[in-house]
Structure 1
Amino acid sequence: MTTTSKPGTRGHKSQVGLVLATVFLAYLGQMTLNPVIAPLSREVGLAEWQVGLMISVAAIMVVLTSQSWGRRSQSWGRKPVLAAAMLTATVAMILFAFLSALGMQGILTGTAIFVLFVLTRGLLFGTALAAMAPTAQAYIADVTDTEEERVRGMAGVGAVQGVAMVAGAVVGGLLAGIGLIVSIGAVPVLLLLGLLIVTVALRRETRTELIPHPPRISPFDTRVWPFLLAGFGMFTALGFIQVVTGFLVQDRFALDANTTGLVTGAALLAAGIGMVFAQAVIVPRSRWRPATLLRTGTLTGTLGFLALLFDAGIPLLIIAIALIGLGIGLAVPGYTAGPTLLMNREEQGGLAGLIGATNGLTFVIAPTASTALYAVWPLLPVIVGAVIMAVVLGFVLLQSRFRKLPDHPKRQEEGVPARTD
């Protein structure tokens, strides 16, 4: 039996801004590193598959810990969860920056630097990042009353991630022009700033606002699985090109390491702009329902993948990546908000964690698979990504669940247990 305490956070919506600011800084740290991962790996002598495996380890930790983080955000409160996560992320990336410096100087090489990269950027940072989106999504589900508010709130979580992608591409790309180690060293500074915001400014919930025993949500729950399947497909497709973009840029246009960082940063900037435009402009103004957002977004993303197949210069590559970002930006609020309309308040933390785990699972598979496919033929991961996105488009067009959403979020009746299967 779950608790039936009434939402106590509805009078404190100012906390949403602080939660989103923390999510922004966590993802900004991650995105600042993205433009330099490919050239860094080649500077320290790592193979493409080793980079993919490092990112897959981080994704494994997201899968293993996301639902736990989401439920703990309801039972412990947002502040303790975010503080623990930001502290872990900061320590992990301080160590990663130190290891990178040793690797670039030739002091640490081979298996040793690979294993240490996996432990810091993979295991520790992946565990910390897993807390961010589920905590924010569970909180927004807790303080919104209508479908429109819920969709806009979930779009806000996606928007700060998109802004982080834009800012990270700019910061990471520009700092890479100075030196790769400068970009890497900026990451723990950003994370430390997020930790300070949480510890100094974020209010801790009162006992009455917390839910002592939030239920675990099954991925096979009939209210949830169609959305999880659609999200899994979308993020798998995205993962197939996200990691290899740097390699694709360097090899397709024969660029050096620093220029690769700049061009990759520009491509990621375009994706971020597309995502932010979708979630900050199109989603709030269109007032589209979750199913419409999913269908429009996956169609747009499919077109972006098809454009990426053509080697017609840097501008077309950037346009293709921007279309993919726009498509994902449109689809994600539908994917994250849709199932929350069917769940009780006590279930929102478990649901948010399950969504985070689903997203993480795609990055267990996609980075390793895409880098392995890239070694066979550079276009192969792009082709596979396009096929997956097209399949998702067909699924969201045909699956009946996407036509049967209520107009208002579900409220649990007094004394009625939450459904978990």
Structure 2
Amino acid sequence: MTPQISLLLSAVFLVFLAHTAISPIIAPLSREVGLAEWQIGVTISASASMVVLTSQFWGRRSQSWGRKPVLTAAFAVATSTMAVFALLAYLGMAGVVTGWVLFLLFVVLRGFGFGTALAAVPPTAQAYIADVTSDAATRIKGMAGVGAVQGVAMIGGAVVGGVLAAFGLLIPLIVTPFLLAAGLYVVRFRLRAEPATTLIKRPATIRPHDRRVLPFLITGFGMFTALGFVQIITGFIVQDRLNLDGEMTGLVTGGTLLAMGIGMSFSQSVIVPRSGWSPPTLLRVGTPVALVGFLLLIPDIGLVPILLAVLFTGLGLGTAVPGFTAGPSLLVRREEQGSLAGLIGATNGLTFVIAPTSSTALYSVWPPLPIVTGATLMAAVVVLAWVHPRFKQFTPIMESTLPAGSDWSPAASLDQPVRPGSTTSPGSAPAKSVIEKSANC
């Protein structure tokens, strides 16, 4: 792994550490400031909406503007937004700002503002990884690396947020802007900007219905929607099943998310790199394991089953998600990678537009209902991963994108400029016929 990729992954880690550090206190915080469950669900859905609306924009801009400018802008917006959000939470707990004004400001800051900034990070990182890898195994490992640091961030965020919550619900919110500021420092002063000649002025756009990627998008949508149905209500499950107060709920929820993070991190740092499995195999192995986790979470039988359930969910999704992210990237050209990364990010975000509001509403009707719904969706994903022809006949085309005898490689693209004025990578034209054949399978 090159130093620049390590820096990139550090930035991804910091933004998701900040994101997950407040997860343990969202449920008790909403109740402390007088917001209903559905209102916090709407806030999370608003954030996800911005991911859907802006992910492809950021993915393409990462290829035309450059990775560093996009990441710098994203971290600057995230840092300032969450600093103001922490102040708003304080005013809400003090009773200075209440009711619908508080709710709308939650949506604007935590929803629209932070959601737009967060949307830029994964597509930019994925487009970068796709740009500097030249074979399927390395691509899968790189995509798993992005997922692995998110898993580690989930562990760190659960620990940081849970432990700090024991000293007060506001403490994690105060720490979050400092984590984001550290990420801003990394991308602004440590990450090297790529040469302007390697940028693509007019990145290609991939549509969701493109037959090369559609089965993967459906699978990813199902997985993340299922996860969303249980992730946002985890704090409510912990508090209501174990009869805990606000601070203790934050601490125990942090431990619960820690178990999920451990599962995801282990899968993406150990199982995926060492297995050598293809993307379809990763999906076929990971999704049934995640389904077991969902089924274990349905009955109300204490803390230990909750921890086991989220551990299995983390193990399964940690194995399956690299198949979802790396698989379609092996089927498209270099100038399509940014758009594809944005499309994957938008798919992930779309799930959290639907799931938080739906799950919190269903939780109010009957607490196990959102878990049952998530388990049903995950079962459908398992079936799709095993029966769809795209997963049975998966043929990567990335090794065929270079013409015979070419010296150029994607890994060298950051140091060796392409021809001035070129908007496609060398070798992309010979690969077109292969891609068209793949798209018509």
Report how many residues are paired: 410
Deviations 1:227-283 (A, max 9, x none): 000000000000000000000111111110011101110110000000000000000
**2: CA distance, partners of 1:319 / 1:348:** 37
1:81 is aligned to 2:64: no
Select which of 385, 400, 406 maps to 2:374: 385
Aligned to 2:147: 158
Aligned to 1:6: none
Select which of 223, 229, 234 maps to 1:245: 234
Q: Give the drift of 1:416.
A: 6.2
Name stretches of at least 5 consecutive residues in structure 2 with no aligned partner. 403-426
Aligned to 2:88: 99
Confirm or deny: 8 A CA contact 1:13 1:143 kept in the other structure: no
Aligned to 1:411: 401
Secondary structure at 2:215 match in 1: helix
What letter is aligned with 2:322?
P
1:376 is aligned to 2:376: no
Deviations 1:2-61 (A, max 9, x none): xxxxxxxxxx94211111111110111100010000000000000000000000000000
Confirm or deny: 8 A CA contact 2:228 2:356 kept in the other structure: yes
Q: Give the drift of 1:391.
A: 0.4
What letter is aligned with 2:359?
S
Aligned to 2:160: 171
Confirm or deny: 8 A CA contact 1:58 1:121 kept in the other structure: yes
Confirm or deny: 8 A CA contact 1:342 1:405 kept in the other structure: no
Confirm or deny: 8 A CA contact 1:294 1:335 kept in the other structure: yes
**1: CA distance, partners of 2:41 / 2:431:** 42
Deviations 1:86-139 (A, max 9, x none): 000001100100000001111111111111010000000000000111001111
**2: CA distance, partners of 1:222 / 1:330:** 24
Q: Give the drift of 1:406.
A: 2.5
1:113 is aligned to 2:102: yes
What letter is aligned with 2:401?
R
Confirm or deny: 8 A CA contact 1:146 1:408 kept in the other structure: no
What letter is aligned with 1:337?
A
Instruction: Note the 1:297-336 alignment, pairs <5 A.
Output: 297-336=286-325
Aligned to 2:408: none
**2: CA distance, partners of 1:192 / 1:249:** 31
Confirm or deny: 8 A CA contact 2:53 2:346 kept in the other structure: yes
1:280 is aligned to 2:269: yes
**2: CA distance, partners of 1:351 / 1:264:** 34
Q: Give the drift of 1:207.
A: 1.5
Secondary structure at 1:178 match in 2: coil
RMSD: 1.4
Confirm or deny: 8 A CA contact 1:283 1:330 kept in the other structure: yes
Deviations 1:56-99 (A, max 9, x none): 00000000000010111111111000000000000110010000
Deviations 1:389-409 (A, max 9, x none): 000000010001012222562
Q: Give the drift of 1:313.
A: 1.0
Secondary structure at 1:131 match in 2: helix
**2: CA distance, partners of 1:218 / 1:37:** 35
**1: CA distance, partners of 2:144 / 2:112:** 28
Confirm or deny: 8 A CA contact 2:74 2:120 kept in the other structure: yes
Confirm or deny: 8 A CA contact 1:177 1:259 kept in the other structure: yes
Q: Give the drift of 1:310.
A: 1.8
What letter is aligned with 1:149?
T
Q: TM-score, normalised by structure 1?
A: 0.95
Confirm or deny: 8 A CA contact 2:331 2:396 kept in the other structure: no
Confirm or deny: 8 A CA contact 1:291 1:396 kept in the other structure: yes
What letter is aligned with 1:323?
F
Name stretches of at least 5 consecutive residues in structure 1 with no aligned partner. 1-11
Aligned to 1:351: 340
1:141 is aligned to 2:146: no
Aligned to 1:233: 222
